[in-house]
């Protein structure tokens, strides 16, 4: 079965450190064919251009295996919009936000201009969730209602104390996808149960913050039929990215 990891970090940060070739070795050892890569913390929060350059280089070097999401901090205003547009135009295929690091609430109007850039480029937008008070699932639900033309990825599916929010959102939103990293197997099963066909579930590892091998074990333990599992492990992400 093809496996396409929806969320990995590359770069040298103070917390996360992982070179692209180290990630690729881990992917090969675990039977993962493709992965989405994003920058590490400092590059998400402050040094956006450096992070985007590193991701773009990795994507170009490992074409067909790595797919990059761009970052921009909305506090940079028009500069952030221009930066995001530049890297999406150069081949990065999505956008990553971590409001905990970047200092805004998911549904804060400060992020609207960057969501509109993503909408123009027709790329998905990934948000870290599970950290109060800036990264809560219903904040993403509200933002997704404002931009029904944009596909949003709920990173970690509200991984800490917000798993209770997922069933309602899964039943009532068609432009939010639920990424599995850091979540329990039972929560992934519940999201699938609220989303007939499992067409909005994405396998992700959050490597190197979490172990790729461990996240795969959790995802493989999900009770679902083969068609749902194929969509979760690769098909849904292929659809989102047009791969």
Q: Which residues in the chain show pLDDT less than 70?
A: none
How far is Cα 45 from Cα 59, in angstroms, rounded to an integer?
21
Mean pLDDT of the chain: 96
- Give pLDDT, residue 190: 87
Q: What is the dihedral of CA 9, 85, 173, 186, to 10 degrees?
A: 0
How far is Cα 120 from Cα 110, in angstroms, rounded to an integer?
17
- Give pLDDT, residue 49: 98
- Give pLDDT, residue 10: 98
- Give pLDDT, residue 226: 95
Q: How many residues does the chain have?
A: 243
pLDDT digits (tens, 9 = 90+) for 184-227: 898 899 888 887 778 999 999 999 999 999 999 999 999 999 99
- Give pLDDT, residue 87: 98
209, 16 in Cβ contact below 8 A?
yes
Q: What is the CA radius of gyration of the chain?
A: 16
83, 116 in Cβ contact below 8 A?
no
Sequence-distant (6+) residues with CB within 8 A of 221 are 185
Sequence-distant (6+) residues with CB within 8 A of 243 are 4, 34, 67, 237
CB-side neighbour CA atoms (13 Å) of 45: 9
- Give pLDDT, residue 8: 98
- pTM reported for the whole predicted model: 0.98
Q: Exposure of 138 by Cβ count < 10 A (0-12 exposed, 13-18 middle, 19+ buried)?
A: middle
How far is Cα 183 from Cα 160, in angstroms, rounded to an integer?
8
How far is Cα 104 from Cα 107, in angstroms, rounded to an integer?
8
């Amino acid at each position: 079965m093809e496996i396409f990891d929806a969320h990995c970090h590359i770069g040298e940060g103070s917390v996360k450190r992982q070179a692209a070739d180290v990630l690729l070795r881990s992917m090969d050892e675990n039977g993962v064919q493709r992965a989405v890569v994003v920058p590490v913390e400092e590059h998400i929060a402050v040094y956006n251009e450096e992070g985007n350059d590193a991701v773009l280089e990795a994507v170009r070097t490992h074409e067909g295996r790595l797919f990059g999401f761009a970052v921009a901090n909305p506090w940079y205003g028009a500069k952030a919009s221009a930066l995001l547009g530049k890297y999406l135009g150069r081949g990065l295929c999505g956008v990553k936000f971590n409001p905990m690091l970047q200092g805004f609430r998911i549904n804060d109007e400060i992020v609207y201009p960057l969501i509109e850039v993503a909408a123009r480029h027709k790329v998905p937008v990934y948000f870290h969730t599970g950290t109060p008070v800036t990264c809560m699932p219903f904040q993403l639900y509200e933002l997704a209602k404002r931009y029904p033309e944009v596909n949003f990825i709920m990173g970690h599916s509200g991984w800490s104390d917000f798993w209770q929010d997922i069933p309602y959102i899964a039943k009532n939103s068609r432009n939010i996808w639920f990424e599995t990293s850091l979540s329990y197997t039972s929560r992934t099963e519940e999201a699938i149960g609220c989303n007939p066909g499992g067409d909005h579930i994405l396998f992700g590892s959050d490597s190197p913050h979490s172990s790729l091998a461990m996240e795969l074990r959790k995802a493989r333990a999900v009770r679902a039929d083969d068609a749902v599992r194929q969509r979760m492990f690769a098909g849904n992400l292929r659809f989102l990215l047009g791969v």
